[in-house]
Chain A
Amino acid sequence: MNFYLRTLRRDLRIHLRGLSEVINPLVFFVVVISLFPLGLGPSPQQLSEVAPGVIWVAALLATLMAMDLMFRDDFSDGSLEQVVVSGQPLLVFVFAKVTAHWLISGLPLVLLVPAVGLVMFVDGDRLQAMVVTLLLVSPTLSLLGAIGAALTVSLARGGLLVSILVLPLYVPVLVLATAMVQAAGSEADTAGYLYWLLAALLASITLAPLAIAAGLRLAVDR
């Protein structure tokens, strides 16, 4: 617990010092969403219809943009290697890193959703569903993205590759989340979707750290 909290605190402190790097993915999120009314036309009805999908895809892409923050700095200054060889439980380290990352990238995205939902004319029920789904799924996104980040951390320019590796893994949660938002909009029962999203979250919490830790060990193993 101590190691977890210490790593979490250290990571948050580092991220909050370089705040501009943290803000960039959020700005990207807002900018990408703003492009759609410019590209599709300003009709509120059309925008409201496409809004859940657009906001979701923008959230996925913003999360992927932020993936570089997770391991790259630690890898390049050698502290990742120190942690791996130190004998401290690597899984705990991974959990702490992912938690810190989620706090500075996933959680702000969730807080931004009401604002962007407003400009995309998303109404009460669907907006609520969108916030809930993004809240549930953003840890999953961080965890799955961390798998890609860990496997490519030793590469100089791994950014686009992480997207190619991780986006197929995001497909199930994207499909389930947009289905839930649409079901909420048409007054259908959303409990089933909630359970599935929770199941995806729990499965990633239990299984993803194994892959992430394995990837980190590979990265420092030369």
Chain B
Amino acid sequence: MLKWFHRLGSPKTFFELSAKWHPWLLALSMLSLTSGIIWALLFVPPDYQQGNSVRIMYIHVPAAILAQSGYMMMAGAAAVFLIWRMKLADMAVAAIAPLGAAMTFLALVTGAIWGKPTWGTWWVWDARLTSTLVLFFLYVGMIALRSALDRQATAGRACAILALVGVVNLPIIKYSVEWWFTLHQPASFSLTEKPAMPAEMWMPLLFMVIAYYLFFVTALLSRLRNEILNRERDTEWVRKWVAAQ
């Protein structure tokens, strides 16, 4: 088992194995996303309070979940890179950062769109929104650092350190913002829907979360494969692969 994991750390092996997984993941994620969206848009009953505008929840909530989850994945990959020097882990850190930033941005924008009809405002400085905004800045910082450091060896480790510093800070940011902002302004609208929803509403949500995860992994795999080709472009096997395309 461990041997398989170790073999997976080699860019060439990973590239070959992922070539087999990728079409399946792509098909599965596209299928689940489409069916999930259709389910959410057409077959979910409208909320008694919000009416049809509740449907954007099925885009917004999974994006927010993936945003935070993506940062954890990035931090995990960073730790693997720093401890075991697995090059693929560094490529994973590089690949996840833009994806996570996009998810966070999607969550912020769809949240604002949802907020306008339900709260009457595009934005409010409450705990969850503020900490999601800070998460976005953390992602942007990761992307900025990597693009600023051009030498690959130092860029990898510097970004890994930054990812770990950020992940230590993330619960602190969440906790302090939540604590302070809810002292002064109690949350008038809770964004955790899961317990308070009937099954017709949380089942499609769960389905969309899984669909988003599948999409994230598919996109990550594509980016990883691209990154492998880019970084290993001077090796024999890449030259052969490119020539065979």
Contact = CB atoms under 8 A, between A and B. Distances in A.
Interface of A: 147, 151-152, 154-155, 158, 161, 164-165, 167-169, 171-172, 175-176, 179, 196, 200, 207, 211, 214-215, 218-219, 221-222
B134 interface: yes
Interface of B: 134, 137-138, 140-141, 144-145, 148-149, 151, 153-154, 157-158, 161-162, 164-166, 168-169, 172-173, 175-177, 180-181, 183-184
Which secondary structure dominates where chain A touches chain B?
helix
Nearest to B176: A172
Contacts of B140: 164
Contact of B158 (A151, A168, A222): A151
| Interface-centre pick from A155, A164, A176, A211 (highest chain B CB count, 10 A) | A164
A146 B163 CA distance: 16
Given A169-B165, A179-B180, A155 B148 contact: yes
A158 B158 CA distance: 14
A161 B154 contact: no
B176 A211 contact: no
B148 A152 contact: yes
A158 B148 contact: yes
A106 to B, nearest CB: 20
Contacts of B183: 179
A171 B149 contact: no
Contacts of A164: 137, 140-141, 144
Contacts, number: 74
B154 A171 contact: no
A191 B171 CA distance: 22
Contacts of A176: 176, 180
A200 B168 CA distance: 12
A214 B181 CA distance: 35
Given A171-B134, A179-B180, A152 B173 contact: no
